[in-house]
């Protein structure tokens, strides 16, 4: 028992030493790998500092705003509001006194505002169109996959229907079974009639033989 316990202790110690050696080798490898990566010339450095930080924004939220803006610009409400704004601007700057006008004829400030609006509206509309195009691509891909599955299902059902037709073609129909039964019944009737005729003929022959040869008298 003592020897067994000593052997088990030795095995446990050896296992622990092996595990510790493996752990140390792994740590050394992990320490060596970043150094080797830095020393390699064909590997670009990861730590690059940007001189000017790019502004961070939520692309989804901005895309939703662009779609809402483009959708609103394509309505009659926007056209009515824009027409009223331009008419009031022109009427006030044309009819107001000379000192109260802030944008006289030829309304350069109004032209500048409309140009700025158009310059900002065009990219927003393009962004909304790009998002809609991506959605259309995703929907088209889903429709294509659904059509492919439906086509595969239709082919499978067509093969099943064809196999069922072939199986049904080999099965006896009701009319065929009736005709066979009728022929069997007619055959049975003929055989029964023949058997009855034979029995009747046998009785007639036996009765005639009995008349021709009477039985001898009993003593």
- Calculate the CA 54 to chain-centre distance: 38
Cα–Cα distance, 58 to 94 (Å, whole number): 44
pLDDT tens across 22-66, in order? 777 777 766 665 554 555 555 555 566 666 667 666 677 777 888
pLDDT of amino acid 219 = 47
Residue 164 has pLDDT above 90, yes or no: no
Burial string for 200-218 (b: 16+ CB within 10 Å, else e) reads eeeeeeeeeeeeeeeeeee
Domain coordinates in residue numbering, the chain: 57-130, 147-197
> How many helices (H) and strands (E) in the chain?
5, 0
Q: Angle 63-66-72 (CA atoms, 0-180°, nearest 5)?
A: 145
Beta strand residue intervals within the chain, DSSP E: none
Per-residue pLDDT tens over the stretch 94-106: 887 877 777 778 7
- Residue 138, pLDDT above cutoff 80: yes
| pLDDT at residue 151 is higher than 90 | yes
pLDDT at 122 exceeding the cut of 90: no
**pTM metric for this prediction:** 0.44
Please check the confidence at residue 157 and state whether its pLDDT lies above 50. yes
Kindly give, in sequence order, each residue whose CB lies less than 8 Å from that of residue 131, ignoring residues fewer than 6 positions away. 63, 66, 67
Retrieve residue 116's tokens. 């700025």
Give the span between the Cα atoms of 61 and 69, in whole angstroms.
12
């Amino acid at each position: 028992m003592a020897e067994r316990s000593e052997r088990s202790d030795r095995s446990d110690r050896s296992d622990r030493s092996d595990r510790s050696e493996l752990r140390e080798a792994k740590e050394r490898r992990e320490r060596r790998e970043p150094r080797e990566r830095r020393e390699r010339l064909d590997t670009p450095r990861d730590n690059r500092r940007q001189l000017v930080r790019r502004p961070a924004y939520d692309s989804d939220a901005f895309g939703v705003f662009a779609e809402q803006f483009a959708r609103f610009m394509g309505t009659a409400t926007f056209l009515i509001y824009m027409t009223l704004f331009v008419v009031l601007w022109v009427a006030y700057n044309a009819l107001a006194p000379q000192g109260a006008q802030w944008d006289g004829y030829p309304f350069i400030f109004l032209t500048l505002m409309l140009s700025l609006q158009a310059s900002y509206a065009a990219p927003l509309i393009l962004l909304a169109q790009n998002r809609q195009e991506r959605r259309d691509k995703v929907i088209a891909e889903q429709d294509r996959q659904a059509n492919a599955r439906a086509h595969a299902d239709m082919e499978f059902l067509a093969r099943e229907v064809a196999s069922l037709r072939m199986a049904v073609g080999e099965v006896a129909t009701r009319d065929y079974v009736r005709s066979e039964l009728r022929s069997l019944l007619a055959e049975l009737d003929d055989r029964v009639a023949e058997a009855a005729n034979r029995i009747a003929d046998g009785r007639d022959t036996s009765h005639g033989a009995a008349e021709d040869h009477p039985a001898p008298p009993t003593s």
